[in-house]
Every structure is written in C-alpha cells, then in structure tokens.
A = this chain, B = another copy of it.
Amino acid sequence: MLENYLHSKGEEALYLGQQFSRSFIEKNIAPEDVISIHKTSIEELIKDMPADVSVSFDFLIEMMIHYGLALKEHQSLIRKQE
C-alpha cells in the first residue's frame, strides 16, 4: 500500500491509508507499531535511504509510545463505561 502511494502519490492511496489506520485502531495496534511497520516498509522500498533517516524513525517510535499509552488508557475507560 505504501509502495502504491509512493508510485502514484495519489489521493486514492492516501484515502486507503486513512481506512487502514481506522482498522489499526479498532485492532488496538499502537501508534508506535504503525511507525515501526512504516519504517520496515520504507527501508524495503527505498534502497538509498540515508542511515540517519532510519535512526530518526526509532526516535519517532519512542515519542509515539506515550501516545500509544494514552490511547490504551482511553480504550480501557470506554470498556469500563460499557
């Protein structure tokens, strides 16, 4: 899907990404995992990727872990209310 987007750079692939993120949230996939999957995909797709960019993704993953935790808290709150 990311490959499709990089090739087309189109709105359509972007829309697919949005749909995907919705199903990720429903499946309780953490935002840091999304970045991690993204990192792996981009490393496979782009052969001349500067090492610093890969490293920068690790930084982003760390930052997202707290967002993931905040979200998890939210999901358990919702379960309590149900």
A residues apposed to B, CB below 8 Å:
2, 5-6, 9, 13-14, 17-18, 20-22, 24-25, 31, 34-35, 38, 42, 45-46, 48-50, 52-53, 55-56, 58-60, 62-67, 70-71, 73-74, 77-78
Contacts and interface: CB of A to CB of B under 8 A. Distances in A.
Contacts of A59: 2, 5, 13-14, 17, 38
B21 A62 contact: yes
13 contacts: A2-B56, A14-B58, A17-B62, A18-B63, A18-B66, A21-B62, A24-B63, A38-B56, A38-B59, A45-B52, A46-B52, A49-B50, A53-B53
B65 A21 contact: yes
